A = this chain, B = another copy of it.
Amino acid sequence: MLWEVNKVRKNIIPGFQFNGLVAGIKKDGKKDMGLIYSEVPAVAAGVFTRNWIKAAPVILTQKRVQRRYIQAVLVNSGCANACTGKKGIEDALILTKNLARILKIPSDLVTIASTGIIGEFLPVKRMDDRLGDLCNGLNSKKISDFAHAIMTTDTFPKIAFRKKVIAGKEIVIGGIAKGAGMINPSLATMLVFILTNAAILPQSLPSLLDEGVKKSFARITIDGDTSTNDTVLLLANWQAGNNPWSQKTAKANGFMLMLLEVMQELAQKIVEDGEGATKVIEIKIKKARSEEAAECIARSIAHSPLVKTAFYGEEVNWGRIIAAAGKTNFPISFEKIDLFIGQVPLIKNGINLAPQNEKEAQKLLREKKIIVTLVLNQGRGETSVFTTDLSPGYVKINAGYKS
């Protein structure tokens, strides 16, 4: 049973413990409250929603992360505690304070994240009643319980791990995410917690996180909507015993790459689990007049309902891609454009090659993963974003069908 042992061992991030249980916040009776606990205060960095309407837990956590040390993260699903005014903030404060008392740590070291319905108050009493059990049940092997407790419309829990010996020390990075709907560049109903035993200098952690987010979670978009609750937290608890790394060292010794792998794997899982998604589509823009133009054009395509429904229908409808690319503020010229599905060219210098290549392209469109490459031949700007198709399932989920 070596494999079993290894598997369990693999899922441990030294110095971190987890739990997840049913507090009765969700109506479906599933796990809805979870806890991450670091045995020592961990150096912390966070990235939060850019929506002007920020949920109470985001406001509180943003403040506490600024002090750079976090030891516990309380998370609930089923209620977003957003648009809840002063009472929302007070509720979050009460819960973190009571949790801190049970854990015997300063409440400054406790943060909170919530996801679920906007505009409703947290069932504080019900949650408070379970804080003791939540702490008592903490265990380094219960990461999956935690991952389940933070799910909303997610169809599967999202966990990613990487382990590597760097400078003689075993470095582990583990990440847990929830996503599903409202996923968009500005982060959206997305909660991500990334934990490592590495020692990283407090002043270096935020830039490592920012760089990672830019290359992972900021590259996925499902519906262009942005939630009030998005939170990405990175905690480093120094348990590996390495000489604390600066940003430069972490990049040179492979830690950054490892971190990026975890973040990209989680981002990939979030987009794969996009509400109603049947396909993941990568939109690559090349040779745009600038990075900014590439970015804007990629998102215009990725958010176009006409493009997304065409992918759902598995149709070669390149006109919609071109029309979406042409509607931004950045001028493009059809005569210069090359467009590919996978390696199959549909347009070359504005010449329509679809008639002869349609069958081959059609074959690729039936796949679960599709790569669209639009070469604008205007400059050096390039980017790539991941999105999903738009299916009747998306409408069904979001129209609140009770079935």
Contacts and interface: CB of A to CB of B under 8 A. Distances in A.
Interface of A: 50-53, 80, 82-85, 117-119, 181-182, 184, 186, 223-228, 303-306, 309-310, 312-313, 315, 317-320, 322-328, 330-335, 347, 350-352, 354, 390-392, 394-396, 398-401
A399 B365 CA distance: 13
Given A83-B352, A225-B320, A310-B398, 15 more contacts: A51-B326, A52-B326, A52-B327, A53-B322, A53-B323, A83-B334, A181-B306, A182-B306, A224-B304, A305-B305, A309-B399, A313-B399, A313-B400, A313-B401, A390-B395
A323 B324 CA distance: 24
B306 A223 contact: yes
A393 to B, nearest CB: 9
A229 to B, nearest CB: 9
Contact of A399 (B312, B323, B324, B401): B312
Contacts of A396: 392
A253 to B, nearest CB: 38
B398 A51 contact: no
A51 B330 CA distance: 10
Nearest to A222: B305
Given A331-B52, A334-B53, A334-B83, A354 B312 contact: no
B119 A323 contact: no
A244 to B, nearest CB: 37
A398 B317 CA distance: 10
Given A182-B306, A390-B395, A399-B313, A323 B227 contact: yes
The prevalent SS among residues of A at the interface is loop
Nearest to A327: B226
Contacts of A331: 52
A78 to B, nearest CB: 13
B332 A53 contact: yes
Contact of A224 (B228, B303, B350): B303
Nearest to A397: B309
Nearest to A401: B313
A315 B182 contact: no
A309 B223 CA distance: 12
A88 to B, nearest CB: 10
A51 B395 contact: no
A339 to B, nearest CB: 10
A309 B398 contact: yes
Contacts of A399: 309-310, 312-313, 315
12 contacts: A52-B328, A53-B322, A83-B334, A119-B319, A119-B352, A225-B320, A225-B327, A305-B305, A305-B394, A310-B399, A313-B398, A315-B399
